[in-house]
Structures are given as structure tokens and as C-alpha cells.
């Protein structure tokens, strides 16, 4: 009977000696030991069980799970484990598909934002849910809002960095604004995000759509969209809601941090 040392088995299977010792501890294999030098000797029979472990491990089962599945798993339990892993993989695939869609959307947004800079067009803004947690430079530290923010951090990268400028602060010298997060409705539905206060649902509406950029530390100000307000006045459009938008990307331009922002200003004739 051909026997293999632990180093031979490690090379055959491409796994570490420590993992082989772990599987031995869990009873997956019982190599013979030379009492004179404590060397382990494995047979092809042992390698069969180790191959089963490698097989299941490559489905994504943990080392602990594979050891149990190979050594101590009745038929019904094995079937349950396989179905549970199938559900897990399907959920992962769905999430990865959502990530692919989201990165496609974000890449498109970054690629087109420069085309909108300083230009105004009438366009329907997207339907979203959002909440605000920062006013100018001050974060709202109420426990319920902090808990909400923690939950929403788990929704990244499907969320957007969202801002609002109150309609009353669009004219004059006011520098007031607010920041938070938003989610487009497709992700609200897919992620099962509740829209309970302080989360707010904002329907799609007719808006002036544009983009601007802001450079330097604390350079963001409502004055960046004065030209949009002027466009509304020039075209006899009545502003009927807060300006809303999102940070599309932050880059370095001429050594200065610069943010690109997309913005919608609700209007009616």
C-alpha cells in the first residue's frame, strides 16, 4: 500500500499542512503515525476524503462546514446545506448584479457631468427617498438620526450624497444648506428600505437641471446655483421647491480638491 507524507499530500491537494492537521483533528482523516518520529502517513483513501473537503470548500463552505459535511452529515442534512448554499449564492449574485448596475450608472454620471456644467435644461428630476443629517457644518446628533445614518451606511454604494438648499435661501446672501443621503426608488424597492420619518419621499417633478463644481475646502455654497435662479426668472418660471442634488464625484484639479455636483430646481410656469 502506497503511503504519503504530509508534505506530499499538501502538494497533491494544494493546501497547507496546518489545514491537513485541522482536518485530522476534526476526524476527516486518520493518518498513521510513526511512533519513532511522529511522521504522518496518508493513504489514497485519506486523500479521497480530503478531496471532498476541497470540493465543498470551493463552493464557499467554511472549513468547519466542510469537515462536518465530509465526516458527520446525514443525507437530509447534506441536502439542506447544499440548498442553503444555493440560496446564499443566488443572493450574492443578485447583489453583484446590483453593484454592476450601480457602477455603470455612476460611471455614466461621472462621464457626462462635465457636459452639464453651467447649462440649464428643463427636465424631470428622479423620484427619491432621502434624509438630512447635516446642516451647514453641524451634524444632527440625535440618537435616532445617528441610528438611521448607521443603517443607511450599509446601503452604500447605492446611496448618493444628497444636498438641499431651501427655497428661501436661494436668493440673497444666505449660505445655508443641508446634507444627507438619497436613494433612487429602484434601490429603495430592491433593498427594502423603509421610508418612515425622518426619511422623506420626494416625487419626480418638473425641474431646471444643471451641474456645477466647487473647489477648495468649504467652497460649497448656495451661490453656486445663482445662475439657475436667474434662468428661472428670465424664463418666467416659478420656483416651487427646494433645490436638490447630489455630489457626483470628487477629484483633484490643479492640486485643489474639486467636487462636481448635479442639481435640480423644481419649477412651474
pLDDT (tens digit per residue) in 55-104? 999 999 999 999 999 988 999 999 999 999 999 999 999 999 999 999 99
What does pTM read for this prediction? Answer: 0.82
Q: Residue 127 falls within a domain, yes or no?
A: yes
3-state class (DSSP) for residue 216: coil
Cα distance between residue 28 and residue 20, in whole Å: 9
Helices (H) and strands (E) in the chain, counts: 8, 13
Residue with cell 443607511: 152
Would 113 be classed as within a structural domain? Answer: yes
Residue numbers of the domain that contains 228: 102-268
The reply to whether omega before 43 is within 30° of 0 (cis) is no
pLDDT mean over 233-253: 95
- CA distances to 73, 146, 148 from 197, in Å: 48, 13, 10
- Residues 69, 118, single domain; the answer is no
Number of domains making up the chain: 2
C-alpha distance from residue 31 to each of 3, 55, 64, 170, 199 (Å): 9, 20, 19, 78, 61
pLDDT tens, 201-228?
Answer: 999 999 999 999 999 988 899 999 999 9
- What average pLDDT score do residues 5-21 get? 92
- 113 and 182 both lie in a single domain: yes
Residues 17 and 64 placed together within one structural domain of the fold: yes
Mind listing the pLDDT tens digit for each residue in 108-144? 999 999 999 999 999 999 999 999 999 999 999 999 9
Q: Cell for 112?
A: 457626462
What is the DSSP annotation of 57-100? HTTT--HHHHHHHHHS--HHHHHHHHHHHHHHHHHHHHHHHHHH
How is 151-192 classified by DSSP, letter by letter? HHHTTTTSSEEEEEE-GGGSSTT----EEEEEEEHHHHHHHT
> Do 257 and 142 fall into the same domain?
yes
**CATH number for position 22:** 1.10.1660.10
Instruction: Give Dmax (Cα) for the chain.
Output: 97
**Average pLDDT over the chain, rounded to an integer:** 93
Q: Are residues 232 and 131 in the same domain?
A: yes
- Residues 248-254: what's their mean pLDDT? 95
**For the domain that residue 128 is a member of, what is the CATH number?**
3.20.80.10
| Residue among 151, 182, 174 nearest 226 (CA) | 174
Residue 32 lies inside a defined structural domain of this protein: yes
If asked whether residues 151 and 59 sit together in one domain, one would say: no
Amino acid at each position: 500500500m502506497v503511503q504519503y507524507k504530509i508534505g506530499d499530500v499538501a502538494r497533491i491537494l494544494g493546501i497547507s499542512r496546518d489545514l491537513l492537521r485541522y482536518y485530522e483533528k476534526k476526524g476527516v482523516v486518520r493518518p498513521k503515525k510513526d511512533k519513532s518520529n511522529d511522521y504522518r502517513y496518508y493513504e489514497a483513501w485519506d486523500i479521497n476524503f480530503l478531496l471532498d473537503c476541497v470540493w465543498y470548500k470551493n463552493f464557499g463552505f467554511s472549513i468547519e462546514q466542510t469537515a462536518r459535511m465530509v465526516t458527520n452529515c446525514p443525507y437530509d442534512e447534506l441536502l439542506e446545506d447544499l440548498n442553503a448554499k444555493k440560496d446564499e449564492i443566488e443572493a450574492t449574485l443578485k447583489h453583484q448584479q446590483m453593484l454592476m448596475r450601480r457602477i455603470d450608472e455612476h460611471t455614466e454620471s461621472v462621464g457626462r457631468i462635465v457636459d452639464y456644467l453651467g447649462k440649464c435644461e428643463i427636465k424631470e428630476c428622479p423620484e427619491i427617498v432621502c434624509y438630512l443629517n447635516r446642516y451647514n457644518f453641524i451634524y444632527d446628533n440625535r440618537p435616532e438620526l445617528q441610528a438611521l445614518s448607521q443603517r443607511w451606511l450599509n446601503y452604500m454604494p447605492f446611496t448618493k450624497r444628497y444636498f438641499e438648499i431651501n427655497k428661501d435661501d436661494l436668493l440673497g446672501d444666505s449660505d445655508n444648506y443641508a446634507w444627507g443621503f438619497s436613494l433612487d426608488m429602484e434601490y429603495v424597492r430592491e433593498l427594502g428600505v423603509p421610508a418612515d420619518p425622518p426619511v422623506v419621499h420626494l416625487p419626480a417633478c418638473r425641474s431646471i437641471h444643471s451641474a456645477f463644481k466647487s473647489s477648495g475646502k468649504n467652497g460649497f455654497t448656495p451661490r453656486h446655483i445663482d445662475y439657475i435662479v436667474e434662468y428661472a426668472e428670465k424664463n418666467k418660471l416659478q420656483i416651487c421647491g427646494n433645490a436638490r442634488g447630489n455630489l457626483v464625484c470628487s477629484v483633484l484639479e490643479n492640486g485643489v480638491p474639486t467636487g462636481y455636483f448635479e442639481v435640480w430646481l423644481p419649477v412651474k410656469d
